[in-house]
Amino acid sequence: MNTLKMFDLSGKVAIVTGSSTGLGQGICRAFVGAGAKVVGVDYVESTDTAKELGENFYGIVANLMTIEPLQGIIDAAVEKFGRVDILVNNAGIIRREDAIEFSEKNWDDVMSINAKTVFFFSQLVAKQFLKQKSGGKIISIASMLSYQGGIRVPSYTASKSAVKGITMSMANEWAKYGINVNAIAPGYMATNNTAQLRSDKDRSEAILERIPQGRWGTPDDVMGTAVFLASSASDYVNGFTVAVDGGWLAR
């Protein structure tokens, strides 16, 4: 048996949210490299991603702060590439404010895209899998704050704890349909969401001191895990959140 074929995504179609930069862009690159077609979704044009990946990538601009565009995205993916096999819920936001002063808007905005959209997009894609009678893979991007409390990010912590929880809940109900629902919890990554942390010299040094590998992660560090969870290599992995953190949680 050729073990590498277990990781082959040829003939598969993936929807990846937050595809214009960072982890989402890296996951799009990984999937195309493994043979898949990718529909990328972001609130801005995924210009660089589209330029790099060419005809294997189809970009959609949509506001995922609301669930209204979700069915239309699935319909567009089916029209363009014929089916949907993989969903990656990567799009998300973070708002930083002391918990004692944290605003309702900062709570609602983060929970809307990071938790509500994740659940309802997964639900609609699961319905598409059932319609296709194909099974499929759903991967959500969790966080170290799915496990820890964090500082000045209460809604982000709540939302990422929710991602871990609903990943388990959906897996419990959908595994019988051949649907695998898992999550990736990246460690501290050098992406847009951590720009403020990385610019704070003291905070950045404190974070790096705790990471056994001694560096911030990059989108490339998540690519292999994403391909694994999207492929037949992970067919018996369900309801789990995989940490890709340079050893952060081991400290």
Active-site amino acid positions:
156
Rounded Cα distance between 103 and 31, Å, is 38
Q: How far is CA 17 from the centre of its chain?
A: 7
Q: Which two three-digit tokens encode residue 151?
A: 């500082």
Rounded Cα distance between 12 and 230, Å, is 9
User: Residue 40 — φ and ψ, nearest 5°?
Assistant: -100, 140
User: Residue 246 — φ and ψ, nearest 5°?
Assistant: 65, 15
CA dist 36 → 16, 33, 86, 163, 197 (Å): 12, 7, 10, 25, 34
- Specify whether the CB–CB gap between 186 and 193 falls below 8 A: no
